[in-house]
């Protein structure tokens, strides 16, 4: 049955309050908390404008019954390039309207919107894998969780400071990998109400930083971190003293760069991805090379979108050089 036959219309969500109410309801956010406090990038009051974010939904009259948000961004690669990507989040459907394919319709609309504007790679995080596989997404990439208790960190509590400072943002912008942040992103980045920020060094130019938790997401996880290694060790020791069960979240290449040794076996998939423009994605990760130098175009054309994503970013039982490519995004990049 079409949307029109159901008395539904697809439109842009103009009210942040209306979007917030639906997300709070669907994700069963605890009393006193709000979804958009932990994902402010989708909040039109502090997040990017309509030129960078599509906030779309299905409406029954004035009632918003399904939603999906898509953000245009650029992903930094280990090769020093950046790649146009679309980040999908805020996907929700009122329980009374489930089973009608509304989430698929709204997500599909958002993916098309991003791809038409140049996104070569789509990324999202969600547990409804069957829904997203129909859209061409596949769990892939790699992330590692390291218990802070497994390291002997110097606590150095007297040196570590807590709380967000604008002076942290330049350091975060220069971090290893993840999404490319611009000055205009500071408004929503700093609006995460339930993230605990730690830093060390000069208040005007911190030497290192780390972030713990995200309210309804990333509980007990140190998901943003960077800067001077010695400073980081002191911050991690301080967090370990506050939360002995805290876990460090990182990508394999970032962890190795900082000298954090770990058993590679417990890695898990990073996200769900859809490779929309294979040649563009490949050249961003492997500059100076062409995809057809490694893979026959005829064989590549036989792969389904999920198979293509798994080939590009793994995990692969038998790696085919130069695959899998080193995909990484930080915790607050995820939506």
Residue-wise pLDDT tens digits, 67-113: 999 999 999 998 889 999 999 999 999 999 999 999 999 999 999 99
Kindly indicate the confidence band of residue 157, based on its pLDDT and cuts at 50, 70 and 90. Answer: low
pLDDT for 309 equals: 95
The top-level CATH class assigned to 1-142+270-335 is alpha beta
Domain ranges of the chain: 1-142+270-335, 152-257
65-88 exposure pattern, b = at least 16 Cβ within 10 A, e = fewer:
bbbbbbbbbbbbbbeeeebbbbbb
Residue keyed to tokens 């492997």 = 286
CATH fold match for the domains 1-142+270-335 and 152-257: yes
What are 274-328's pLDDT values in tens digits?
Answer: 999 999 999 999 999 999 999 999 999 999 999 999 999 998 888 888 999 999 9
pLDDT for 211 equals: 99
- The three-state DSSP-derived secondary structure of the chain is CCCCCCCCEEEECCCHHHHHHHHHHHCCCCCCCCHHHHCHHHCCCCCCCCCCEEEEEEEECCEEEEEEEEEEEEEECCCCCEEEEEEEEEEEECHHHCCCCHHHHHHHHHHHHHHHCCCCEEEECCCCHHHHHCCCCEEECCEEEEEHHHCCCCCCCCCEEECCCCCHHHHHHCCCCCECCCHHHHHHHCCCCCCEEEEEEECCEEEEEEEEEECCEEEEEEEEEEECHHHHHHHHHHHHHHCCCCEEEECHHHHHHCCCCCCCCCCECCEEEEECCHHHHHHHHCCCCCHHHCCCHHHHCCCCHHHHHHHHHCCCCCCCCCCCCCCCCCHHHCC
Give the fold, CATH level 3, of 152-257: Aminopeptidase (3.40.630)
pTM summary value: 0.95
């Amino acid at each position: 049955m079409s949307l029109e036959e159901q008395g539904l219309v697809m439109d842009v969500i103009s009210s942040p309050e209306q979007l917030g109410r639906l997300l709070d309801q669907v994700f069963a956010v605890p009393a006193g908390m709000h979804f958009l406090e932990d994902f402010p990038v989708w909040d039109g009051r502090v997040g990017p404008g309509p030129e960078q974010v599509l906030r779309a939904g299905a409406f029954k009259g004035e009632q918003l019954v399904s939603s999906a948000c898509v953000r245009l961004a650029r992903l930094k690669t280990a090769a020093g390039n950046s790649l146009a990507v679309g980040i999908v989040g805020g996907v929700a459907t009122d329980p009374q309207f489930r089973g009608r394919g509304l989430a698929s319709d709204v997500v599909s609309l958002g993916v098309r919107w991003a791809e038409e504007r140049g996104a070569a790679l789509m990324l999202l995080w969600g547990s409804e894998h069957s829904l997203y596989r129909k859209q061409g997404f596949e769990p892939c990439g790699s992330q590692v969780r390291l218990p802070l208790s497994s390291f002997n960190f110097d606590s150095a509590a007297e040196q570590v400071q807590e709380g967000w400072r604008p002076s942290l943002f330049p350091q975060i912008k220069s971090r290893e990998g993840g999404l490319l942040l611009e000055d205009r992103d500071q408004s929503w980045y700093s609006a995460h109400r339930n993230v605990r920020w730690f830093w060390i060094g000069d208040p005007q130019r911190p030497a290192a930083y780390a972030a713990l938790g995200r309210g309804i997401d990333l509980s007990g996880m140190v998901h943003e971190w960077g800067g001077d290694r010695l400073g980081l060790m002191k911050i991690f020791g301080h967090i370990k003293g506050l939360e002995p069960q805290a876990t460090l979240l990182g990508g394999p290449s970032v962890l190795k760069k900082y000298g954090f040794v770990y058993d590679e076996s417990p890695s898990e998939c990073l996200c769900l991805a859809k490779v929309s423009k294979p040649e563009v994605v490949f050249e961003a990760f492997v500059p100076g090379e062409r995809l057809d130098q490694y893979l026959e175009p005829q064989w590549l054309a036989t792969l389904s979108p999920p198979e293509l994503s798994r080939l590009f970013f793994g995990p692969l039982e038998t790696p085919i050089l130069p695959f899998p490519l080193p995909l990484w995004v930080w915790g607050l990049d995820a939506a």
